[in-house]
Amino acid sequence: MRYFLASILAILSVFSVPIQSKELTLGQQYFADNARYFANKLPDNVLVFYAPISQEGDMGDTSDCGKQICIRLDPDYNKSLRVARMTLFHEECHAATLGTELDQHGPRWQACMYRLATVGAFADLW
């Protein structure tokens, strides 16, 4: 069942709504960010897509989907490009620190977000 879900998610990611005016999909943006801000150290086995999240108020979610990591952005909360980009950065820091801390917003995750801010990743977003 888990692999079936991952297959469906892979299909959905192909039809992902563009996140930038340059027509990058969420997955393409993830890999562009990985190269630009993470020295290609983020996991490669990632699906990034829009999908509703059952936990009310959650704008995004990063989880282990078996052989892949799934990053979901809730379309109800990520309607603008700016919000979607900030949510994706937030989730990329979760991907960078996945399984390294008990508190998912612990010191390593916070350091990741701080580093992104100091290198100007958010400059055109806030």
User: pLDDT 10s digit of each residue in the chain, 126 long?
Assistant: 444 444 444 444 444 444 444 446 889 999 999 999 999 999 999 999 999 998 777 999 999 888 899 999 999 999 988 999 999 999 999 999 998 988 989 999 999 999 999 999 999 887
Residue 43 lies in a domain: yes
What residues contact 6, with CB distance under 8 A and at least 6 apart?
47, 65, 66, 67, 68, 70
Q: How far is Cα 20 from Cα 85, in angstroms, rounded to an integer?
A: 9
Q: Is 49 exposed, middle or buried (0-12, 13-18, 19+ CB in 10 A)?
A: buried
Residue 108 lies in a domain: yes
Residue 68 lies in a domain: yes
pTM over 0.75: yes
Domain count along the chain = 1
Residue 126 lies in a domain: no
Q: Give the other-Cβ count within 10 Å of 44's Cβ.
A: 9
Residue 124 lies in a domain: no
What residues contact 76, with CB distance under 8 A and at least 6 apart?
52
Residue 123 lies in a domain: no
Domain region containing 11:
2-118
Q: For residue 101, what pLDDT is reported? A: 87
Residue 60 lies in a domain: yes
Q: Give the other-Cβ count within 10 Å of 5's Cβ.
A: 12
Residue 125 lies in a domain: no
| CATH number, position 85 | 3.30.2010
Select from 69, 67, 19 the least CA-distant residue to 42. 69
